[in-house]
A and B are shown apart, each in its own frame.
Chain A
């Protein structure tokens, strides 16, 4: 009993040793990159330099779907980091072709915004062709490199621009819809490009303008679930101690029915009591309202930053 008592006290008052930091995984992936790139550059005999070919091949394919803040938003955002982290041979390559396969083969059985698992097979399917091309172009590697690099830059700019356009359109639509749904969105009128209703911080990830591509219905949905989760959150600042800067970031995966299929921590606060209370709030919020009808994917992932900020703000 005594051990438990002290152990729990330590948990409440000590820093969580597992508190999440991106430095370690980033460092690991960076090293991994180095190794792979080195391999790619210095041992081309193995023929895995398909990234270059893929880049060239896809420059012309990168005409992102016109301003429809379709669900490609978060997925497109994902394009850069996730495949880079997880897929071995085609990292930079994969990020380019992403936008293309996405809108078309959309309703696949398990498409996720982070649909890394799904994407590579497509990329891989292209790869063999590219491999052949690459081999033949091996001698022209130098030029290839320059073209790739400039292509990458051009693509990035293009994506940015497209998203900017869609932002403007999305804003207009949102303004209309948000104005109608005053009660749900809170103070959301006119607040878009990532802000829906009270207190939404906007997405962390992807391009800054990635959020512009999110449907306005998703923004409204976010406001709904924010309200519901807050209602279910029981937290006593007294028990957490005096630190009002605590923050825990959790994430959930919501199925179309509104059922929460999974809950996990992206960042623990270091305070076990706050982490627990946030987790319980999410469990209690199950089921959430069903996903909006015009959201095409079978599930929706969203992060939740729990930060009590003390009683002074009340």
Chain B
């Protein structure tokens, strides 16, 4: 009797104890912190410490430090702190772990710190660059780079790649290029420049309308459309050797897009009497037809795994973005908002598609999830903002904008912040296409 009662008591006691305090695990209030005041990492890049005090070395060193700041700022991840606010001058004291007082940096708000130790001798330069986490008082990168003076840019870019790799696991955009169309020479031709607009160069000399540059994944080939033979024909050029394969059929041969990692490309051809998307080899042979509907099907953009592509079709009455899955052959419509949606560009991260939407007064760039949810408007300027092209790591978008009058190439973050002009050339620049980050680095 007693025993059974004890058992009951035991059970009741257990239940009470279990459910009584079950709700509680913290004994203090919790308040919400939801809005970071700064949406970037505060980074300090003080001037480098120089081995000698020659004016020339100082000049080169300062250029290097400035270029490093500018390049990291270009990524949109960092807020570069003003050197005037620094309490600590590595030029005079130390740049290494043991000689830095991290409090000096945390106090001015820096969470990351880059220091440099610079030497220029003859034609050679060597620079030790270090990245510190000031709050953890830890050095996270430390490398010595050497090269000739003319290599200074690529040395700094290599370090920037190391920094971004530390933060994100990939090397960022510093080895990539942007191709675009410019008509400064009197005709639209294709040009290329570095990711930050440095060193723009003319690629084609067709003296005829040339459009739609497309980089192959390995960066060795460029496809484009040109009227140099009197018709909008497709050309596939080997960038190293310069020879071209021509693909010319009656009608239009436009908007080439290389399949990721393959020597194949999709393009819109209308020789059949209708504008459809086809798959071709890099040597210009048709493999198969990819779309099958009356009406316009144009501007293919591959998913990073090459299993699907987005494209524009007016099969439902107005130009909208669709996605086709190669294996199943299924086509689904992606955009339902906006009366005309064109120029899809699939993010290299695979999850989003940027596109151009017609709005009153012009065009704006939107981004939508591949599930079709939540289209977000990224540009709000009047006039035209079009032809979005993602950076290889999916963090930035290049596009063309006529917000200042003539059309120019702009760059912004994937969230639409930090919109800035990339470069200015004679005439108008349009149709940017960002390459992969394969080039050196």
Which residues 220-253 of A have a CB within 8 angstroms of B?
222, 225-226, 229-239, 242, 249, 251
Given A12-B167, A145-B9, verify A308-B25 contact (CB < 8 Å): no
Given A205-B28, A303-B28, A312-B376, verify A8-B166 contact (CB < 8 Å): yes
B33 interface contact, C-beta 8 A: yes
- A22 — which chain B residues lie within 8 A by C-beta? 25
- Interface of B (DSSP majority class): mixed
- B317 — which chain A residues lie within 8 A by C-beta? none
- B143 — which chain A residues lie within 8 A by C-beta? 1
Contact A311 B33 (CB under 8 A): no
Nearest-CB residue, chain B, relative to A203: B29
B169 interface contact, C-beta 8 A: yes
Q: Of A194, A211, A226, A278, which is in contact with the most chain B CB atoms at under 10 Å from its CB?
A: A226
Interface magnitude class on chain B: 35 or more
Contact B135 A305 (CB under 8 A): no
- B28 — which chain A residues lie within 8 A by C-beta? 74, 113-114, 203, 205, 251, 301-303
Contact B29 A5 (CB under 8 A): no
Given A37-B13, A199-B31, A201-B31, verify A238-B38 contact (CB < 8 Å): no
- A277 — which chain B residues lie within 8 A by C-beta? 36, 111
- Distance between A300 CB and nearest chain B CB, rounded to angstroms: 8
Given A149-B16, A201-B31, verify A238-B24 contact (CB < 8 Å): no
Chain A window 61-80, contacts with chain B (Cβ cutoff 8 Å), 1 for yes, 0 for no: 00000000000001101101
- Distance between B43 CB and nearest chain A CB, rounded to angstroms: 10
Contact A238 B16 (CB under 8 A): no
Q: Of A42, A149, A156, A205, which is in contact with the most chain B CB atoms at under 10 Å from its CB?
A: A205
Contact A229 B25 (CB under 8 A): no
How far is A33 from B19 in the complex, measured between Cα atoms in Å? 12
Given A145-B9, A152-B16, verify A82-B34 contact (CB < 8 Å): no
How far is A82 from B414 in the complex, measured between Cα atoms in Å? 46
Contact A80 B21 (CB under 8 A): yes
- Distance between B428 CB and nearest chain A CB, rounded to angstroms: 31
Contact A238 B25 (CB under 8 A): no
Given A142-B5, A152-B16, A234-B36, verify A78-B27 contact (CB < 8 Å): yes
B140 interface contact, C-beta 8 A: yes
B76 interface contact, C-beta 8 A: yes
One of A119-127, A168-176, A279-287, A288-296 at the interface: A279-287
Chain A residues within 8 Å of chain B by Cβ, number:
88
Which residues 140-185 of B have a CB within 8 angstroms of A?
140-141, 143, 165-169
Contact B168 A239 (CB under 8 A): yes
How far is A255 from B414 in the complex, measured between Cα atoms in Å? 42
B51 interface contact, C-beta 8 A: no
Contact A238 B351 (CB under 8 A): no
Contact B37 A237 (CB under 8 A): no
- A313 — which chain B residues lie within 8 A by C-beta? 34-35
How far is A207 from B24 in the complex, measured between Cα atoms in Å? 8
How far is A38 from B143 in the complex, measured between Cα atoms in Å? 63
- A141 — which chain B residues lie within 8 A by C-beta? 9
- B18 — which chain A residues lie within 8 A by C-beta? 30, 33
A47 interface contact, C-beta 8 A: no
How far is A196 from B109 in the complex, measured between Cα atoms in Å? 28
Contact A302 B37 (CB under 8 A): no
- A157 — which chain B residues lie within 8 A by C-beta? none
Choice from A82, A205, A214, A237 contacting B415 with Cβ under 8 Å: A237
Chain A window 164-194, contacts with chain B (Cβ cutoff 8 Å), 1 for yes, 0 for no: 0000000000000000000000000000001
B404 interface contact, C-beta 8 A: no
A117 interface contact, C-beta 8 A: no
- B420 — which chain A residues lie within 8 A by C-beta? none
Choice from A42, A200, A280, A311 contacting B31 with Cβ under 8 Å: A200
How far is A273 from B5 in the complex, measured between Cα atoms in Å? 55
- A84 — which chain B residues lie within 8 A by C-beta? 17, 21
Choice from B10, B17, B166, B376 contacting A5 with Cβ under 8 Å: B166
Contact B30 A41 (CB under 8 A): no
B14 interface contact, C-beta 8 A: yes
- Distance between B194 CB and nearest chain A CB, rounded to angstroms: 22
Contact A37 B135 (CB under 8 A): no
B67 interface contact, C-beta 8 A: no
Nearest-CB residue, chain B, relative to A8: B166
Contact B29 A81 (CB under 8 A): no
Which residues 3-52 of A have a CB within 8 angstroms of B?
4-6, 8-9, 12-13, 22, 26, 30, 33-34, 37-38, 40-42
- Distance between B200 CB and nearest chain A CB, rounded to angstroms: 27
A304 interface contact, C-beta 8 A: yes
Contact B41 A13 (CB under 8 A): no
- B20 — which chain A residues lie within 8 A by C-beta? 80, 152, 156
Q: Spell out B's residues near A (CB within 8 Å).
A: 5-6, 9-10, 12-14, 16-18, 20-21, 23-42, 76-77, 79, 106, 109, 111, 135, 140-141, 143, 165-169, 349, 351, 376, 395, 413-415, 417
Extra contacts, 17 of them, besides A92-B16, A206-B27, A283-B106 (Cβ < 8 A), are A5-B169, A9-B165, A9-B169, A22-B25, A41-B9, A41-B10, A78-B27, A81-B21, A202-B30, A204-B25, A204-B30, A233-B35, A234-B37, A249-B30, A280-B135, A304-B31, A313-B35
A-B contact pairs, 16 of them (CB 8 A): A8-B166, A22-B25, A33-B18, A80-B24, A113-B27, A226-B33, A230-B37, A234-B79, A239-B77, A281-B33, A301-B28, A302-B28, A303-B28, A311-B417, A313-B34, A314-B35
